[in-house]
Amino acid sequence: MTDLFHTYQLGDLTLPNRVVMAPMTRVRAAAGGLATPSMATYYAQRATAGLIVSEGVQPSLIGQSNPGTPGLYTDEQVSAWRPVTSAVHANGGRIFAQIMHGGRVSHPDTTGMRPVGPSAIPAVGDVFTPTGPQPAPVPRALEAGEVGEHALAYASAARRAVDAGFDGVELHGANGYLISQFLSSNANLRTDSYGGSVTNRIRFAVEAVSATVQAVGGARTGIRLSPGGGFWGVEEADVPELYSALLTELARLDVAYVHIEATADEEVLLGLRRAWAGSLIMNPVFPMGPKQTGRAEADHWLGLGADLIGFGRAFIANPDLVERLRSRLPIAPVDEATYYQGGDAGYLTYPAYQYKD
C-alpha cells in the first residue's frame, strides 16, 4: 500500500511526502490585501508538508469574499507575497496559491461593490463584513459578455502568483464560491450557454482552468472541488454526472491535480476517482465537521487510490504535523476562537512537539 511518507512526483515537483496542507482562511492580511511578515513565518513553520496550498487569495477586488484576506491583482500584492514564498522555499517547502473568487458570497461593505454571481440569487446565511456578520445580499447576475472576464481573472492571478514565487495555483472550485455557483443547479438559473445542462454548467469552470493552464501551464494548475457539499446553500442535482463530465474536460487540459473534499458518499467519491486518472488530493473528512483528518483517515484513502492527503485544521495547531504523523505523536488541539481573530496569537504561537527527557 502507498505510504503517507513516500515521495510523489506532482508535475515538475518532487514531493518528499504525501501530506498536503489544505487551504484555510486565516484573515491575517494587511490593508490592501497585502501578505505580511507573520504570514511568511506561518507558512514557513509548516514547510515540511509535501505541498502547502495557501489560504484563498482573491483574483480581483470584486472577487474578495471576506475582509482581511490577501489578493493577487496588484503589483504591491505580488511584492508582499515574495517574502512568504521565499521563506517557504528557504525551509525546503513547496507552495501553491489558492485562487478564490467569492462570487455572491461577499458584501458591499467589504469590497465597495455589489457581489456578482451566475444569477441574482443570494447565498444562504450571513457573510463576514468589516462590522460583523450580515445577511448575504442579492448578487448582480453577470451579463453574458462579462462571464469570460471573470474566468480570465483566475489566469491573471495565476501569472501574478508565479511572479510572486508560488510553485503553482489551485483554483477554488468548491465550497459555494463562484466556480461552485456556476456548477450549481439552484444558484445558477441561467438560460444561456452557462446554465441549464451539465455541459453548460461546467463551462465556466473549464474556461477558468483552461485560461489558467494557458497562462502558467498544466503542471502548475490544480482545482479544488466539493461534490454535493451544500455550502452557502448551493445545491447540485446530479453530482455523479456533473463531476464526471467536469473531470473528463479537466483531463484534456492535463492539470497537475484535482483536490476533492469528502462532501459526498464514499461510493460517489470512488466513482470520481475512477473517472479521474490523474493526481488526486483527497480531504478525507467533511470540512469543518466534528472530526479532523488523522493518520487513520489518511491511510484509508491512500488505500482507496488517493495520491495525496489534505490536512486542514490539524495544521493550525501543529506546525510539525508531518513529524507528528510519522512518529504517531499526539495531535495538539486547535483553539477555534483564534481562527479569524487576527494577530499572532493562535497563529504563530503553537509549538512543535516537546519531547520529554
| Residue 241 predicted with pLDDT over 80 | yes
Active site residue 177: yes
pLDDT in tens, 287-330: 766 778 889 999 999 999 999 999 999 999 999 999 999 999 99
What span, in angstroms and rounded, lies between the C-alpha atoms of 94 and 50? 7
Per the confidence metrics, is the pTM higher than 0.85? yes
Q: At what angle do helices 266-275 and 239-253 cross, to 10 degrees?
A: 30
Angstrom CA distances, 72 to 35, 75, 219, 335, stand at 10, 8, 20, 29
Regarding the domain delimited by 8-338, which CATH topology (the fold level of the hierarchy) does it fall under?
TIM Barrel (3.20.20)
pLDDT for res 355: 82
If one compares 2 and 184, the residue with the highest pLDDT of the two is 184
Mean pLDDT over residues 185-197, rounded?
Answer: 97
Domain boundaries, the chain: 8-338
Find the angle CA(143)-CA(199)-CA(179) to the nearest 5 degrees: 55
Q: What is the dihedral of CA 87, 90, 95, 101, to 10 degrees?
A: 20
Tell me the pLDDT tens digit for each residue of 242-297. Answer: 999 999 999 999 999 999 999 999 999 999 999 999 999 999 987 766 778 889 99
The three three-digit cell numbers of residue 77, written as one number: 500584492
- What residue has cell string 495538539? 332
CA distance 291 to 285: 7
Of 177, 243, 347, 350, which one is the catalytic site residue?
177
Selection from 234, 227, 238 nearest residue 270 by Cα: 227
Q: What pLDDT does residue 129 have?
A: 97
